Amino acid sequence: MMDDGLKAAECCSKNSAQPDLGNMIQTFESIVDNPMSKLLLQKALNYCEKDKKNRLEQGLKIYLDKGNNLEKESCLKCRLMSRFIGFVIKKGSESFGVSEDELKNQMQDDYWAKGLTSVLKGIAQFGVKKPFIPGAPFQIVWNITHACNLKCVHCYENAGKKDVDELSSEEILGGLDILAKSGVTSVAFSGGEPTVHPNILKFIERCKELGMFPAIATNGYALSNPKTCKKFAEAGLNFVQISIDGLNPKTHDKFRGVDGAWSKAVKAVENCVKEDMFVEVATTVTEHNYNEIHDMADFVKGLGVDWFMLYNFIPTGKGNEIKNLDISPEKRYKLLKDAYNDNSDDMQILSTAPQYARVAESMVSKDHAMIPTHFYNPEYSNPAVMQLADFIGGCGAGRFYLSIEPNGDIYPCVFFPHEDEVKVGNLLEDDFDDLWKNNELLAKLRNKEILSEHCGKCESRDVCGGCRARAYNYFHDILAPDPGCINNEEEWNKIFSAEPQKSTAK
Ligand code: SF4
Ligand code: SF4
């Protein structure tokens, strides 16, 4: 989705030349992944009291502002840093086969520049690794409240009423400052239902002020009112994810526990499209709607949606009570293949199933070249860019993403249960940068070599690695195999031979 670091790759793809990407990556690695560059980049992470930014961000700003006043107004160290950054970018652009101006143009987008800063910070802190670890999460999904206006049976949050220990609005605003200072690129507000929080508009505005890309994940109930939708757009929201469970309004309403929920969600999509927001429709695929997905893609495309996201069902929260609706590995495989084929220029079909990258890799062709990532899907005209998939690396839990609970507790991804074993820390009680750098659970999630069973030796391990949340929810082990994959059918059969799966799909 808002994985700006990856837009660098998209930019590169627009060059018509067919450069050897393996070589390019190696060249870029040799520029930035050597002791001197790393030392300089580490120094760049220091906060500059005069310029009120870390030197890396300020140096990048000066570099992009060349010829204007910022250079004169900035301190000497930040000015020197801008020269080093200019050198790295020049060399990087050469090695990726794009012109420096093209790259500079792309960087005029603040979020893109923020993503790049995070990439450089990641290199300084962790080196050029496969999979890549940025200097701060590209995206935080922040469940700001447990309160919700619907009663969904598959809710991962077990949402309903506001919790007694939820952070106050002041604390949330302070938390956003912490995330911005650390270099987070994007914050997606979720819940519960984020639109029922009385100060959601303030949070969106603060995100924008701090240079982070704001997004929300909503059931659409509130945004079905055009005036409310306009207010969100005016606050600076231009990415919205709206959940629709299927084509049949009755099934959706039953699943969501409130009559009329489907129509409101569709209305919300229409309103957001009118407000020119980037709109993603999200559908959790289960046995209930498996047979509707193809037609649903046509339906949401007709509404003017930009992305159709097929969510992997994960048996956590209330979803744990309906795990017999999980689709089998064969059905998931077919679903992902069909989704890949149904992709078009008008609307991209993505999936949170990391196996999508594996499927795409096996089906990639000249007309249909892309690396599907969890939340962002750059399209490439140059298949060599597929090599970047190893760096992007499938499941991004604890590496590209973190989630925050209403009380400030941090987990690797929203789909992990709220258990101490998988809790990373707390936004207000712990040092966020220290957690990102040194937390043992995160280090484990970033190391694909220690995955067990087939996920550990799989040839697609680097581009996929399995959904760690599914593995944990089924086996209580973050390194266990993801039983949703055709390579792990044995594990799937073990689970469902003890607990027969309900089958409604053909
Ligand atoms: S075995 Fe694991 S790593 Fe390999 S494709 Fe399946 S889920 Fe992905
Ligand atoms: S655990 Fe990984 S693959 Fe699964 S939902 Fe979270 S980020 Fe995605």
Q: What's the gap in Å between 463 CA and the centre of ligand 1?
A: 9
58: phi then psi, degrees, rounded to nearest 5: -65, -40
Q: What's the gap in Å between 395 CA and the centre of ligand 2?
A: 5
Residues with Cβ within 8 Å of residue 344, at least 6 apart in sequence:
301
Take residue 245 and report the two structure tokens written for it: 């469970």
**Considering only CA atoms, which of 262, 364, 343, 255 is closest in space to residue 298?**
343
Q: Determine the pLDDT at residue 463.
A: 83
Q: What is the rounded CA–CA span in Å between residue 252 and residue 292? A: 12
Please, what sign has the CA dihedral across residues 365, 371, 374, 375? Answer: negative
Q: What is the rounded CA–CA span in Å between residue 494 and residue 498? A: 7
- 179 neighbors 186 (Cβ within 8 angstroms): no
* Apex 461 CA angle, 458 and 463, nearest 5: 140
Name the closest-CA residue to atom 6, ligand 1: 485
For residue 80, the tally of other CB atoms under 10 A from its CB is 17
Q: What's the gap in Å between 65 CA and the centre of ligand 1?
A: 45
Name the closest-CA residue to atom 7, ligand 1: 466
How would you label 82-118 residue by residue, b for 16+ Cβ within 10 Å and e otherwise?
bebbbebbebbbebbbbeeeebbebbeebbbbbbbbb
User: Ligand 1 site: residues with CB under 6 angstroms?
Assistant: 355, 358, 454-455, 458, 460-461, 464-466, 481-482, 485, 487-488
Q: What is the rounded CA–CA span in Å between residue 178 and residue 160? A: 28
Q: What is the rounded CA–CA span in Å between residue 359 and residue 292? A: 21
Answer whether 355 contacts ligand 2 (Cβ < 6 A).
no
DSSP annotation of 499 reads S
Task: Give the torsion through C-alpha atoms of 282, 284, 287, 288, to 10 deg.
Answer: -60
Q: What's the gap in Å between 38 CA and the centre of ligand 2?
A: 30
Q: What's the gap in Å between 53 CA and the centre of ligand 2?
A: 32
Q: Determine the pLDDT at residue 29.
A: 62
Q: Enumerate the β-bridge partners of residue 239.
A: 278
Pocket test for ligand 1, best of 451, 485, 490, 492 (most atoms within 8 A of CB): 485
Which atom of ligand 1 sits closest to the CA of residue 466?
7
DSSP annotation of 501 reads P
Distances (CA, A) of 9 to 6, 12, 186, 391, 497: 5, 5, 18, 11, 44
Name the closest-CA residue to atom 7, ligand 2: 397
For residue 47, the tally of other CB atoms under 10 A from its CB is 12
**Considering only CA atoms, which of 383, 392, 385, 366 is closest in space to residue 460?**
392
Q: What is the rounded CA–CA span in Å between residue 480 and residue 469? A: 10
Maximum pairwise Cα distance, the chain: 70
pLDDT mean values, one per 10 residues, the chain (506 residues): 30 32 53 66 74 80 80 87 80 67 71 76 79 89 89 63 91 96 92 93 95 93 96 95 89 78 94 95 92 93 94 84 88 91 84 85 60 51 49 83 96 94 97 96 94 90 90 94 92 77 44
Q: Determine the pLDDT at residue 259.
A: 80
| Helix axes of 293-302 and 329-342: crossing angle, nearest 10 degrees | 30
- 217 neighbors 141 (Cβ within 8 angstroms): yes
